[in-house]
Structure 1
Amino acid sequence: MGKAAREVSARERIKTQREQEARQQQRRRLATVVAVVVVVLTIVGGGWWYVQSGKSETLTGALAPITIQQDGSVVMAKPGVTKPVLDIYEDFQCPACQAFEQFSSATVKNMAAAGQVKVVYHPINIFGQEPALGNTMRASSAARCVTNGEQWIAFHDRLFKEQPPETKAGFSLDDLVKWGKEAGVTDPGFESCVRGQKNAEAQATYSKRILDAKLVPEGTPTVRLDGKVVDNKVAFSPASLRQTILDAAK
């Protein structure tokens, strides 16, 4: 086989592999969304206990300190709190991740503020096809341009609030800059960082490392407590999630 033929063959193998990965990601997202729908239906139709378990909390006060790590993960914890550890693997483009934010974000923040858990956010990219791939990469690399912890979490929350459909282009650079400034970002280098997608390569590398390590076996969101995957029925039920975290601290 000649060199040209080998190169064509290699490109075809890479293309086939990427298509397979995209299909696997689609199946994982579908499974997660279905699980979320089941939880919602259970909450609606399962009686008083499920309604109480599914009721979202409201924020009770100031957040725990938020520290941006060198690898791109973000820690929210009071000084000295090292366990239990709640790892949240999420994609800003993922509808199920948006639902997790709506259901359980306040619980996570309240418990971190009370010194009951150390929370670690892991923004990653699970989409392999456009326009969702471009959407999530623009958003996640822009989040890396925010260097202040409080501003980062405000920007993080805004991204989920403004999440576009998977089938439409969204998270435009103009919007990302605007939302960052509205989240309180005053760093003069923020806008150029966002518009130049300065952190895209670092974000892609981080995301690949997470996926290669199989830390998100069912797609996003994946919530791990002290390394063990938390079932979606618990993760999306604020009362159940709270009790599970309290039990882990015993």
Structure 2
Amino acid sequence: MSEKNRDRKRTARERLAVEREKQKAAERRRRTLIVAASVVGVLGLAAIIGVVAANAGKDDGGDSAGPVVAPSGAQGKDALAIPVGKESARSTLTVWEDFRCPACKSFEDTYRSTIHELTDAGKLKVEYHLASIIDGNMGGSGSRTAANAAACAQDVGKFPAYHDVLYENQPQETDDAFADDDKLFELAGKVDGLVTPAFRTCVEEGTHDSWVEKSNQAFTGGGFTGTPTVLFNGKNIYQDQTMTPAKLKKMVEEADQG
């Protein structure tokens, strides 16, 4: 074979080798691009799913909370107070309570008859604010569901009687019995005319749940130390160790005389 032929064959082999390397390099780039595109696609899909999930979570949260529906006749800022007594009364007792709170039951048992006497006489107006701090402290939902049921009773003018029945039959603090609608209906049966289809629907659907939650937020944001918190014409009297039903009655009567 002539030298010229060998040179041509060598040159051809070299060109072929170079072309093969080019093809291999192109194939590597193609594979790299495919992998990169796949990663970007997965990350993009994950991001989209994350956004959708986040938005779905926000929507669910809003829907589950439901609208804030104040009970009939509720008064005060954001309609968070349930009034008992005559508007013309010269004295106002503001009471923050939780239906699962043992100290609230103690207050009610001690002052109930005096408060009834003064409200019936038109000398005292009571503004009840319902909280649900025991649910947060002990777990469960009985504070909220009982408060909702009490608000449902307010809708039909039966709040004072049902309020008293709930405290008179309060379970142990660790017993979340008020979370059971059937228990709330059983106790409602002690109040003449309360158990109606409208009341049952209101309790079962938690019509005032969001209102109770808003009331509880107002309590926790109000700088109060615990339930019950009892204010007489704006002054905290529950912290007064000398306070008694007789002393409260005297304060109300003195204010009524002007």
Q: Structures share a fold, TM > 0.5? A: yes
Aligned residues: 182
Aligned to 2:82: 74
Whether the 8 Å CA contact 1:125–1:133 is kept in 2: the answer is: no
Whether the 8 Å CA contact 2:89–2:123 is kept in 1: the answer is: no
Q: Distance in 2 between matches of 1:76 and 1:220?
A: 19
Shift of the 190–114 alpha-carbon distance from structure 1 to 2, 3 Å rule, reads same
Post-superposition shift, 1:198?
A: 2.3
Normalized per residue, the structure richer in helix is 2
Aligned to 1:164: 171
Aligned to 1:153: 160
Matches within 5 A, 1:213-228: 213-214=222-223, 217-228=224-235
Does 1 or 2 have the higher relative contact order (CA < 8 Å, sep 6+)? Answer: 1
User: TM-score under structure 2 normalisation?
Assistant: 0.63
Query: Structure 1, residues 89-123: CA drift from partner, whole Å, max 9, x if none?
Result: 11111101101111111111101111211111112
Aligned to 1:98: 105
Q: Does 1:181 align with 2:186?
A: no
Q: Distance in 2 between matches of 1:166 and 1:91?
A: 11
Please give the root-mean-square deviation of Cα atoms over the aligned residues, in Å: 2.5
Post-superposition shift, 1:248?
A: 3.6
Query: Structure 1, residues 60-98: CA drift from partner, whole Å, max 9, x if none?
Result: xxxxxxx841634221223x5142111111111110110
Q: Any unmatched runs of 5+ in structure 1?
A: 5-66
Q: Does 1:114 align with 2:114?
A: no
Counterpart pick for 2:200 among 182, 191, 196: 191
Post-superposition shift, 1:160?
A: 0.6
Aligned to 1:135: 142
Q: Distance in 2 between matches of 1:176 and 1:96?
A: 21
**2:245 corresponds to which letter in structure 1?**
P
Q: Any unmatched runs of 5+ in structure 2?
A: 1-46, 48-71
For the pair shown, which has the larger CA radius of gyration, 1 or 2? 2
Post-superposition shift, 1:213?
A: 2.5
Post-superposition shift, 1:128?
A: 4.8
* Percentage of identical aligned residues: 29
Shift of the 226–134 alpha-carbon distance from structure 1 to 2, 3 Å rule, reads same
Whether the 8 Å CA contact 2:82–2:129 is kept in 1: the answer is: yes
Shift of the 125–85 alpha-carbon distance from structure 1 to 2, 3 Å rule, reads same
Post-superposition shift, 1:186?
A: 4.3
Q: Distance in 2 between matches of 1:235 and 1:168?
A: 32
Counterpart pick for 1:239 among 217, 229, 246: 246
Q: Distance in 1 between matches of 2:255 and 2:241?
A: 14
Whether the 8 Å CA contact 1:223–1:235 is kept in 2: the answer is: no
Whether the 8 Å CA contact 2:135–2:142 is kept in 1: the answer is: no
Aligned to 1:203: 212
Matches within 5 A, 1:6-85: 68-69=73-74, 71-78=79-86, 81-85=88-92
Query: Structure 1, residues 113-152: CA drift from partner, whole Å, max 9, x if none?
Result: 1121111111222225365541111111111111122x21
